Amino acid sequence: MNEAPRQGSSARPGAGERLFGRAVPRLEDTPLLTGRGRFVDDVQLPGLLAVAFVRSPFAHARIRAVDCTDARAMPGVAAILTADDLSPLLTSDVVAGAMPSAAIRHEVYRPVLARDEVAYAGEAVALVVAATRHEAEDAAEAVAVEYEPLFAVADGPSALEPGAPAVHMRLPDNLLATFDFHYGEVDAAFAAAAHVVRADFDLHRGGGHSMEGRGVVAAPDPVEDRLRVWSSTQTPHALKAALCTMLGRGDDDISVSVPDLGGGFGPKLVTYPEEIAVTAVAAHLGRPLKWIEDRQEHFLVSTQERDQHWRMEMALEADGRIAGIRGALTYDIGAYTARGLNVPYASGMMLTLPYNVPSYRLDIAVALTNKAPATPVRGAGQPQATFVMERLLDLAAAELGLDRAEIRDRNLVRAEQMPCRKPLKLRGGTDVVLDSGDYPATQRAALAQAGWAGFAARKAAAREEGRSIGLGLANYVEGTGRGPYETVTVRVTRQGRVRVSTGATAMGQGLQTAMMQIVADHLGADPANIDIHLGDTAEPYGFGGFNSRQTVVAGASADAAARAVRHKVLSVAAHKLGVEAHALDIAGDLVVETGGGNRSLTLAEVAVAAQGIAGFRLPGIDTPGLQATERVVIDDMAYANGCAVAEVEVDRATGGVRVTRLAFAHDCGVMVNPAMVEGQLMGGIALGLGNALFERMAYDEAGQPLTTTYADYLLVTSAEMPEVAVSHTESPTHLNALGVKGVGESGVIPMAAAIASAIDDALDDLGVRVLRAPVSPQEVRAAIRAAEGGAR
Amino acid sequence: MSGQTFQLHVNGTSYAVTAPDRKTLGDALREDCGLTGTHLGCEQGVCGTCTVIVDGRPVRSCLMFARQAEGAQIRTVEGLAQGERLHPLQQAFIDAHALQCGFCTPGFLMLIVGALEQDPDMTEDELAEVLSSNLCRCTGYAAIAKAALAAYPRPATPAE
């Protein structure tokens, strides 16, 4: 591991051991290990009622009538509401999506409850409130909905064909948007190219599949006429804003809290119709309500990421340098927009980033289909872009007779180019500037770890034994730390404890611990004296967890706020003790003299002094209290990078692929906690392995979901995990004072590309090309059979 | 509350539970015994998140009716630690960074404890196979396996 110089928290004489940068134990662990975690379904309130939704069994249908008469008479039922019943309680019947874009041709926001038409299987039609979930589900089954089934469209390319059935009755076509990326003279590059390689790619991605589904508890507070909401969401601020708008309430009338979150992985960053409906009905009934998503609902209605169809070509110089890339991408976004165009945007923007690509054009068409809305899943379009880019490079290497690592080395952005401005814009218009890193060195590290140089001999020896092993590689760049900011307030309480609150939201990655480590070194370095409050919406400005951003943006604000509070602590203590502030330090909950003196004050004494005394000047400070709120604004993204080298063994008789070893070299800037970084990588790697070989959310031609249990939809288990060797390099970014970049999505991004490359290598005598993900044993076997000329 | 009243013996304590026949053990532990450390992940018996120990065997509490557990000795994650002293497996999970969101963790703990109490001579390979019965979306599993082996060292599996 490289020990790059670290910016950030300064060394202080006399302080305890530094916490920043070390694999310290997590603050989160003990409660979670002893059954004392508090997840949303653990929230219990007096008089709590349960909610279940009536959901459409059809992918597309007109709703002729909804009859709740029988259902309302069922045991335990308190209320049943349809769209018409809910409408008077809301300022809008639809959940307006985040991320507006001028490229969007049709406004297709999700209804809170469907009124006249359902556009995907699982869309909610009515809400049932009953004493227990059993009773609510019984009553939901008894709600009689008269549907008139309509033709459905179940895949993106079909949706865009002339004469395709309409996904929504009111729309003239299913083309949601077209947009493009282009720079350089791409057609001229192709006209002059020494080599051109072409391929079509079919890339699927499935669901988030946090082990905890979504859920919401909403409780009216009649004393203060407020609403308290607990939701299993990655973005409590967005939920609060949507609730205030849609319920016609003020910012201070609704509080949203996030209990322990049982995983996020993207789908929980979206505000959902169920959260709006449950809260509105709780306010209407004056009763606390709970809705917990069950696993089947997660499969049906939690957002997923979705199929991308790419038709691409790459032009190359005679020496293997890339001259240009052009092509088209069709993206299937499902029935509604919940997060604008940001997944296909990210795919198009990220495609070329690790490499020097002089010209580029990508035409993107976004299709509506009768499927659950698609929004980011961990990786957010970047794994697909990486797959396309890396596979094109493998095709080019074969065409030119170059080693796959060599062709990459000739094209990678080099350390001396950093910071490297790309002729591309982030979705907000900011330039894309790769900030730091040594991409060729990262590739070399992964190759060395994997034994790339000596692999040909191992492969030949295995082939002698009748085994087909292969090695494949993929580089990636991950855009992290999406701005503009996250708010962090640090306060030393009158009890002398350090309290940190922020809208940044835990998703399970250990954010409490990371925030503690960032703050602690400035304020006594005692984890036991620090309380971290995440997902806090008392402060009105904030975002939450997505885009591998929180350690970057909330970390930067936490560092700044902790430094400001430290300054105040030392100023007040210096005033009280009659010494210079620089002669003091904070150790645990004490402010101590460092220059030989042995006087001290407790943080509690300093905090009490800092609040002031009526009629007296403040003690050594201009503003009262030991508190600071910071919102460090960072517009540019910090780019992490890495390289994965996967080794596979392919069973030619069955098409079965086993990933046997993985070398993963990466650079996410300065690491706050290396063990947690490794945890992020390992989890991402497991998901990426699933994307490469297993996870397929299948729908039939009528838009019916076919994989709605874990017996049908395969998550990776421990049995599929290869031996993984991770190597870390730390190239600090200049974009924040800590030098940190995000890492939450890195693991997933190169996996499908590296595994596909390895399968090709294992079957190189047959010329098999894996151009899809996931690739099933049946598909591998079919490719082998086709390559063998149909012989068994 | 409708249904019959019966006793559940959990972590050495008896709970009088009044529940309909169709209530699962997992729901009863959470709602009627107030033991919310047991989590429900899929309610279809696949993910293993809801694993508890019933009469010495790890079982999926979403697949067992509460009434079926009447008279049995049930152990849940709340019963693992002795006061403030963590069970060695809990400590091993901390040391190995074997949890992230922690939602699946109680199921893994009860699976490992139950399986190894049932078969203390289990080999490393057999333990690896046991671990593949539960799902975790955060950790990529390697740290969980490491924690299990740290708490329950296994003789190396003899080579063939």
Decide if A13 touches B, using CB distance below 8 A.
no
Q: What is the pLDDT of residue A2?
A: 38
Q: What is the pLDDT of residue A756?
A: 98
Q: How confident is the model at residue A16 (pLDDT cuts 50, 70, 90)?
A: low
pLDDT per position as a tens digit, A316-331: 999 999 999 999 999 9
Residues A507 and B12: their CA atoms lie apart, in Å, by: 34
- Read off the tokens for B102: 């922690």
Q: Is B93 in Cβ contact with A508 (below 8 Å)? A: no
Query: Domain coordinates of chain A in residue numbers?
Result: 29-37+483-630, 415-479+638-787
Residues B98 and B109: their CA atoms lie apart, in Å, by: 11
pLDDT per position as a tens digit, A430-469: 899 999 999 999 999 999 999 999 999 999 999 999 999 9
Q: What is the pLDDT of residue A222?
A: 87
In terms of pLDDT, which residue wins out, A109 or A427? A109
Distance, C-alpha A559 to centroid of its chain: 23
Between chain A and chain B, the number of residue pairs with CB atoms below 8 A apart is: 168
Which spans in A488-602 are helix H?
Answer: 511-520, 550-577
CB A542 within 8 Å of CB A557: no
Among candidate residues A384, A374, A91, the one with its CA nearest the CA of residue A245: A91
- Read off the tokens for B160: 């063939």
A29 interaction partners in chain B (CB closer than 8 Å): 93-94, 99, 102
Please, what sign has the CA dihedral across residues A529, A535, A538, A539?
Answer: positive
Q: What is the mean pLDDT of residues A331-348?
A: 95
Same fold, A29-37+483-630 and A415-479+638-787: yes
Please name the member of A28, A33, A211 whose beta carbon is closest to the beta carbon of B47: A211
B42 interaction partners in chain A (CB closer than 8 Å): 295, 709-710
Q: What angle is formed at CA A116 by the lines to CA A114 and CA A120, rounded to 5 degrees? A: 50
pLDDT per position as a tens digit, A199-222: 999 999 999 999 999 999 999 998
Q: Which mean pLDDT values do the consecutive 10-residue runs of chain B (160 residues) have?
A: 89 97 97 97 97 97 97 98 96 98 98 96 94 97 97 74
Q: Is the ipTM of this complex over 0.90?
A: yes
| Domains assigned to chain B | 4-79 (3.10.20.30), 88-151 (1.10.150.120)
How distant is the Cα of B147 from the closest Cα of chain A, in angstroms?
13
- Whole-angstrom CA distances from B15 to A756, B63, B80 are 54, 20, 18
Among candidate residues A432, A430, A547, A569, the one with its CA nearest the CA of residue A486: A547
Is residue A505 over pLDDT 80? yes
Q: What is the pLDDT of residue A328?
A: 98
Backbone angles phi, psi at A557, to 5 degrees: -70, -40
- Whole-angstrom CA distances from A536 to A229, A234, A239, A756 are 12, 12, 12, 42
Is A29-37+483-630 assigned to CATH 3.30.365.10?
A: yes
Q: Is B103 in Cβ contact with A35 (below 8 Å)? A: no
pLDDT per position as a tens digit, A744-762: 999 999 999 999 999 999 9
Architecture of domain A415-479+638-787: 2-Layer Sandwich (3.30)
Query: pTM of the full predicted structure?
Result: 0.95
Dump strand ranges (E) for A20-89. Answer: 49-55, 61-67, 77-82
How distant is the Cα of B71 from the closest Cα of chain A, in angstroms?
23
How distant is the Cα of B10 from the closest Cα of chain A, in angstroms?
14
Backbone angles phi, psi at A67, to 5 degrees: -115, 115
Residues near A125 by beta carbon (within 8 Å), at least 6 away in sequence: A53, A54, A55, A56, A63, A66, A82, A83, A113, A114, A118, A143, A145
Residues near A708 by beta carbon (within 8 Å), at least 6 away in sequence: A296, A299, A300
- Read off the tokens for A628: 């600071």
Q: What is the pLDDT of residue A10?
A: 37
Region for A433 from its dihedrals, namely left if φ exceeds 0, alpha if ψ lies in -120 to 50, beta otherwise: beta
Decide if B10 touches A, using CB distance below 8 A.
no
Among candidate residues A393, A411, A561, the one with its CA nearest the CA of residue A488: A561
